[in-house]
Amino acid sequence: MKRSVEFLFDVGSPYSYLAYHALPAIARAAGAEIVWRPILLGAIIKTTGGHSPFEVPAKMRWVEQDLERCAAALAVPFRLNPHFPVNTLVAMRIATGLQAQRPADFPAWVEASFRAMWAEGRNLADPTELAAVIRAAGFDDQELLALASQQAVKDKLRSDSEAAIARGVFGAPTFFVGELMYWGNDRLDQVALALAPESAAG
């Protein structure tokens, strides 16, 4: 059985963006498959009683430096989104809808929305900007916005986020290798160990 690592992410989360760039090489080296799991981080933080770093100014100042250092170490373009925190509800509904109904288009949207948030400083909560980002990614904005407004798509993002909470998720990125949970881009070394062939965890 092929090993796999589940990647729970929200494109509004900067550490999810870093993990998005770091995880593929780790999975490839382990011969493992990435199982992509879009979730709505804002809803998860609210339900679990968590806090955004934004609430603690000193922490946010450090997070900004840390993100720049981590992105530089990965050689990934990064600038803190000036609109952060951004409501990614529609962007994540599009991801959920594409994954379920047009899976071949899912990777391009994940790439485009992460890049818009964390390399281009776009405001995905603004309908005009969101439509422009969709079009720039080569999609029809009316089509994807219609997809995002399907009740089944809305329900799936909600139930997937609730299912994540039921498994213990409180933040993003979160990884699962089997039932072992890892929170944070900075736990990818442990994910790599759990995926190693000699490990019993995968």
- Contact residues: a copy of itself, CB under 8 A: 48-51, 55-59, 61-62, 65-66, 69, 73, 165, 168-171, 181, 183-184, 186-187, 190
Distance CA 195, CA 162 (A): 26
User: Could you tell me the sign of the dihedral formed by the alpha carbons of 45, 51, 55, 60, in that order?
Assistant: negative
Shortest spacing between CB 84 and a copy of itself, in angstroms = 18
* First-to-final CA distance of the chain: 10
Shortest spacing between CB 153 and a copy of itself, in angstroms = 26
Q: Please, which residue, 46 or 135, has the CB nearer to a copy of itself?
A: 46
Q: Please, which residue, 90 or 184, has the CB nearer to a copy of itself?
A: 184
Q: Please, which residue, 56 or 152, has the CB nearer to a copy of itself?
A: 56
Shortest spacing between CB 152 and a copy of itself, in angstroms = 28
Shortest spacing between CB 200 and a copy of itself, in angstroms = 14
Cβ-contact 8, 95 below 8 angstroms: no
Residue 174 phi/psi, 5-degree rounding, is -125, 140
Q: Please, which residue, 147 or 169, has the CB nearer to a copy of itself?
A: 169
Distance CA 138, CA 183 (A): 33
Cα radius of gyration (the chain) = 16
